[in-house]
Structure 1
Amino acid sequence: MASVDHAQQGGGSVPALRYDAQTRGAVPIPPSQRGLQTVVAEPWFKVFDTGLVLEGPAFDRDGNLLFCDVGGGRVLRLTPDRRLSTVVRLDQLGPGGLAVHRDGRIFIAALDFAKSVGADVAVQPDGSGMQVVVPPEAGYMPNDLVFDARGGLYFTDFRGASTDPKGGVYYVSPDLRTITSVLPHLAMANGVALSPDGKELWATEFSRNLLHRVELADATTVTPFGTAIAYHFTGPAPDSMRADADGNLYVAMYSQGRVLAFNRNGIPIGQVLLPGREEGHNLRSTSMAIRPGSNDLYVVTNDGEGGQGATIFHAEAFAQALPLYSHR
């Protein structure tokens, strides 16, 4: 039975609802998550003074942090000594997801918002030699991506809406010649991740606030009874995600300024909050990356019109990153 608060309004006799520390602000922590282990991340690098959208962080073989300036159509590189440069500019596409191949190539999921299509492209580490992997004419809206152990690529298709689930998760074969549907009928499929053994696929639905857990018999075949909705999110939507070496999953909560952490079974076990979220700042948390060989977690976000720009925040994950090049 819900507890009853007999607070009075002023000195009168009318029972009154009142804001408190747990309910003030635009995105209070839902009651079911208030008891989770919670840490507050630290500012690590101010990327822009304006609220440009950051997305898709991923580490390359040299320890550089790659990430996207979505509106500017750029993939950026931040060196370990925090020097920022542009890797590549995409013509009329907004890059959103990144994954680094074992040979060093950078695979980019990018959207053409005006035409509601997108592409997966690959470039060399210096940004040259662009190769189209999933062309715009295929009709997908690639949003995020992850490699499997064979070098095949899963990508999410961001099409659809809460009442019109046109998106899904697709698999590009290691030779980049075949695209296969793995998990169809999703509403704005967004984040995608794999368990350390590659036998479980995770995906988020941005438009229906869902976390999917999929057991795989092989790269493109779901086991019998192998799909489940592991979690229903509350409030603004789940965005991109990453897994660690223990199989834990980290999901960026867009417009909530935080990251939710789940264990290998999809049970919430912790959260990382971004500074200023109680006052409505740094809420547009889109994605994160874990530095290889460590449990250092880097979260990208922007403050929109709030005046605090676009920033990368730092905290520590439960476990170390997955091996950077586990695909053989």
Structure 2
Amino acid sequence: MPGSHPPITATELAAARAKYVQERERRVRPDGLGQYRRLASDPAAAPHDPFTERVDRQPLTDHVDALVIGAGLGGLQTAIRLRQAGLERIRLIDDGGDVGGTWYWNRYPGVHCDIESYLYMPMLEEVGYVPRWRYAPGEEIRQHMVALAERFDLYRDAAFHTSATELRWDEDGARWHVGTDRDDAFTATCVVVSSGSLSLAKLPGIEGIESFRGRAFHTSRWDYGYTGGDASGGLVGLADKRVAVVGTGATGIQVVPMVAEHAARTYVFQRTPATVDVSKATSPHPGLNMTLLEGPTFGADGDLYFVDVVASSPAPKVLRLDTASREVSGFFTDSAGSYTSAQWSPVDGRLYLTDYQGTIRSVAADGTDPRTVFAGAVEGSPMNPDDLTFDPEGNLYVTDLTGYLDPAKEPVGRVVRIAADGSSATVLADELAAPNGISFDRRYRGLYVSTLWENRISYLALDRSRTSVLATSIVAEIDDGPAETETDSNAVDAAGNIYQATHGEPVIRVFSRHGRPLATVRVPAADRAGLTSATNIAIRPGTKKAYVTVSGDAGGFIYSFNALAKGIRQSNGG
């Protein structure tokens, strides 16, 4: 709403501009496009077109009404409109082997469009097609473009694997003379240039790439003959391979999970990180000289809610971040609770809080009306609740961190199920080594549970009623961090990837649902002093925007980054 936030000051505007210049300088290089190598001339590149065989043909010497250079979406729609306007001879030319443009070349595993298909795919009514996906895979878009070319008879005069090399206007003849790399010499009454840049493949100018002895190709020239599978996955040819993916943009984010699912080992190389935003939430608390943030979760209002574990009343114990303005404000506090996590119920719209002292409390959406949901022993033993998650019916699943502070480190932790109305509680798993993080998988068939002492993520498969554990398996173990590293909370995205937070270092590790390492997200090196934990993560549902609570002697902060897949309810901390 206009006026809902104070106007930006001159000082704030200058700071924002300085930050923009700083980020721009990190990304702009003096060598410009010289930092890349064109694919066609690079010895490490795949053949020019791995999808369609280049066929020899006789040079074209005829005349056409219109020449459209480029058979991507722009060129294809232009040619269709020219056909509808009555032009008879329309020639599409493209250096690819068919129509499609970027969708002809980009057939890598996992390729999807990030614009809704009903908005992105043109002329659906003309061919009577209803997209199968809200965000269509590349092959569906390409096939739709082929259907359009067939529907409007654009293949008749088309010339593929052909690039224009000369356009010369003949004033006397009122026509264009066209030359191509196939020795064509034809004429056209009019010419439309629709040659986009997204079909041009560029390799990084890495020293020694020419002498690399392994297989190398650009994602826009994917070699399924080598990897096996198709755009939906199944890359069985990589089973015994170590694979490096260079780049972490939109393509890299889609490719990496597919490759990591099958490759023996996957390495991801990033030149320039995506923009990382940070908001300071709290300062170190007096007497403790530190802070500890936990439990980020998105409310129905779009704000991010989180807890300050070591805050004392009257300081707020639950805080709220307006992700648009980056403003942090207090939401709730009391004199009794030691809150370790927060989650919104899918049933009653209240915010539920785990109190390490043994209770589960909830508050209304405006921070009022605190209630005790559950308190007391569970099956005869007291509970130290740490993290929680909900099933769709509103039942709570809580990690019981009992024994965590015991020097003997006896594995007496539990996973507890609490009925939605708080009337009963049962133990789903026991004798656990300090369980902390807990999240449902994307289909609510089981729980991912992180155990601090083991630095391990385990999967608890549940029965249909989600009231008992059918089987337990180890998904991943953290063995690449410093000695003080402990697994903390976890979250799951729409692709089933697991985001594992840590105590002891400000790092989030990302694993596939099968436990393969996919990525490591670190706080920028310049910020790491005084930050010792990245404790929890939330991905905004329906987007890839992720937020992580980071804490230590320097205070408490909320960092943001781009996740590998979109957020779902299971992406809200836990």
Relative to the length of structure 2, the TM-score reads: 0.47
Cα separation, partners in 2 of 1:213 and 1:49, compared to 1, 3 Å: same
Distance 1:41 1:187 in 2: 37
**Matching residue of 1:93:** 337
Query: Which runs of structure 2 are paired with 1:1-328 in the superposition (5 Å)?
Result: 35-36=267-268, 42-50=276-284, 51-73=290-312, 74-80=317-323, 81-102=325-346, 103-111=348-356, 117-136=357-376, 139-161=382-404, 163-218=409-464, 219-223=466-470, 226-234=471-479, 235=483, 236-276=485-525, 280-304=529-553, 308-323=554-569
Helix, strand or coil at the partner of 2:463: strand
Helix, strand or coil at the partner of 2:532: coil
Cα separation, partners in 2 of 1:270 and 1:147, compared to 1, 3 Å: same
CA contact (8 A) 1:159 1:187 kept: no
AA in 2 matched with 1:157: D
CA contact (8 A) 2:550 2:557 kept: yes
How far the C-alpha of 1:256 sits from its partner, in A, is 1.5
CA contact (8 A) 1:37 1:271 kept: no
CA contact (8 A) 1:275 1:281 kept: no
How far the C-alpha of 1:170 sits from its partner, in A, is 0.8
Cα separation, partners in 2 of 1:217 and 1:84, compared to 1, 3 Å: same
Distance 1:136 1:75 in 2: 23
Offset from partner CA, 1:82-120 (integer Å, 9 cap, x none): 232222113232211111013320000122xxxxx3221
How far the C-alpha of 1:141 sits from its partner, in A, is 0.6
- The structure carrying a bigger helix percent of its residues is 2
How far the C-alpha of 1:45 sits from its partner, in A, is 0.5
CA contact (8 A) 1:276 1:282 kept: no
Distance 2:292 2:265 in 1: 27
Distance 1:166 1:37 in 2: 41
Cα separation, partners in 2 of 1:72 and 1:163, compared to 1, 3 Å: closer
CA contact (8 A) 1:40 1:275 kept: no
CA contact (8 A) 2:442 2:570 kept: no
User: Which ranges of 4 or more aligned residues in structure 1 deviate by more than 6 Å?
Assistant: none
Report the more deviating stretch, 77-86 or 119-128. 77-86
Larger radius of gyration: 2
Cα separation, partners in 2 of 1:96 and 1:79, compared to 1, 3 Å: same
Relative to the length of structure 1, the TM-score reads: 0.80
Aligned-pair Cα RMSD in Å: 2.5
AA in 2 matched with 1:99: Q
**Matching residue of 2:216:** none
Cα separation, partners in 2 of 1:154 and 1:131, compared to 1, 3 Å: same
Cα separation, partners in 2 of 1:169 and 1:277, compared to 1, 3 Å: farther
Offset from partner CA, 1:153-186 (integer Å, 9 cap, x none): 1111111247311111111122321111112111
**Matching residue of 1:19:** none
AA in 2 matched with 1:287: N
CA contact (8 A) 1:253 1:285 kept: yes
Unaligned runs of 5+ in 1: 1-31, 112-116
